[in-house]
Amino acid sequence: MDQPTLEIIRFIIHYGLHFLAPGIIALLFFRKDWKRAWLIMILTMVVDADHLLADPLFDPTRLSIGFHPLHSYPAILVYFGCFFIPKLRVIALGLLFHMLTDWIDYLFYINYLAGSL
């Protein structure tokens, strides 16, 4: 596949995981209140505010995890701990899934695009 096609696939996977997958997770695990759970998980995207501290602001070749403060391993540990607090579970799940999505995006980059840039 050519690079522009791979970039489009990467974009669709990345933003599909950020916006659509939380809806599926909400439907599966929070059926009674799935719309609220989905909205909360979408709102955890505010964690990307830490990208404003980076230079350059956006680098498609950079792994966010371990680089940005709110994507750091200590932060991820806090998110994991919050998962076990019932009132914070949906927020924690949204944050943890966000980290997984960013990791999957980077894996896609190193496996399919790194050699073509």
pTM of the model: 0.94
Domain assignment present for 105: yes
Report the distance separating Cα 104 and Cα 10, nearest Å. 10
Q: Indicate the number of domains in the chain.
A: 1
Domain-located, residue 56: no
Residue type present at position 95? L
In this structure, is residue 52 part of a structural domain?
A: no
What domain range includes position 30? 3-46+64-116
The answer to the question of residue 55 being in a domain is: no
In angstroms, what CA-CA distances link 107 with 17, 42, 55, 83, 103? 14, 22, 22, 25, 6
Helices 73-82 and 89-108, axial angle in degrees (round to 10): 140
Per-block mean pLDDT, blocks of 10 residues, the chain (117 long): 94 96 97 98 97 93 96 98 98 98 96 80
Q: Tell whether 98 is covered by a domain.
A: yes
- pLDDT at residue 59, rounded to an integer: 92
Cβ-contact 46, 18 below 8 angstroms: no
Question: 31: how many CB neighbours lie within 10 A of its CB?
Answer: 9
